[in-house]
Amino acid sequence: MKNLVFCFGVLMMVSCKPTQKIAYRTDKIQQLEIDRNINVSLSVQPFEDIRSQSENNAVHFSAKQWKAKINGEQSCINSEVLYKTPVSEQMAAIFAQHLAQKMPQIRVFTNQKEHSDYYLEAKVKQFYGIQKFSNAAAVGAQFGLIGALATAGAKTQGTIIIELTDIKLFDKQNNLIALVGDFRKEYEGEFPADANCFCIYQNINQKLSEFNEDLINLLSLEIRKIE
């Protein structure tokens, strides 16, 4: 329902080109239960962006719009053109927010490794979203508010891939404490769609929240070992 509300809102913004952000709500995240106090600070360092090394990311960088013809089919993509702040920087920031909410036992900072007990590094290999363009939503948009309401529940088939690699945890002396390695999730299914292809940005944000939740649960196993 939240996705539908967002996507209906962007249907009304046909005359502007909105800046997209990588963000989602973190205030409802359930805290992890840890049986002992972990009085440490951890800095999430800016992630390194290596997406250009993956061939399937090329269209996201080259497309001048957030619509593109992929394999002969009109598609919606989370094109780089609407991200005004670097994707890797935004991903690190929202990960830090999620971690702070999930594990309030530790003090979480961003890009403050000189002043933290530990720091986390990672590389962004994939932040890829694509879904079929919705003809139904496009037709509905031609009839203004009534048409938009009638097609507000439109969905199309899509694929979202999120991958971080070389995830490492260091102490303040730059000693490697834990090598988490690579973490990848691929999501396929029906996703909310709109006539302007803005929904794909919200869809990938929602899947990023699931991705970060799973990654933090894995990372917490290493954090629990900290003395």
For the chain, percent of residues with pLDDT exceeding 70: 83
What does pLDDT average to over the chain? 86
How far apart (Å, rounded) are the C-alpha atoms in residues 164 and 18? 27
Q: 4-56 pLDDT, tens per residue?
A: 444 544 444 433 457 899 999 999 999 988 767 788 999 999 999 999 998 88
Q: Which amino acid is at 2?
A: K
User: In whole angstroms, what separates CA 115 from the centre of its chain?
Assistant: 27
**Count of CB atoms situated within 10 Å of the CB of 170:** 18
CA distance 75 to 140: 18
Cβ atoms of residues 158 and 199 within 8 Å: no
Report how far residue 145's alpha carbon sits from residue 66's, in angstroms, rounded to the nearest whole number: 23
pTM: 0.86
What CATH number belongs to 2-10+39-223? 3.40.50
Q: Which long-range contacts (CB under 8 A, 24 or more apart) does 51-59 make?
A: 51/87, 51/124, 51/125, 51/126, 51/127, 53/125, 54/125, 54/126, 56/128, 57/126, 57/128
Q: Of 3-12, 186-195, 203-212, which gets the smallest average pLDDT?
A: 3-12
Regarding beta strands 118-132 and 155-171, do their DSSP bridges make them parallel or antiparallel, or are they unpaired?
antiparallel
pLDDT in tens, 135-168: 755 444 443 444 444 455 689 999 999 999 999 9
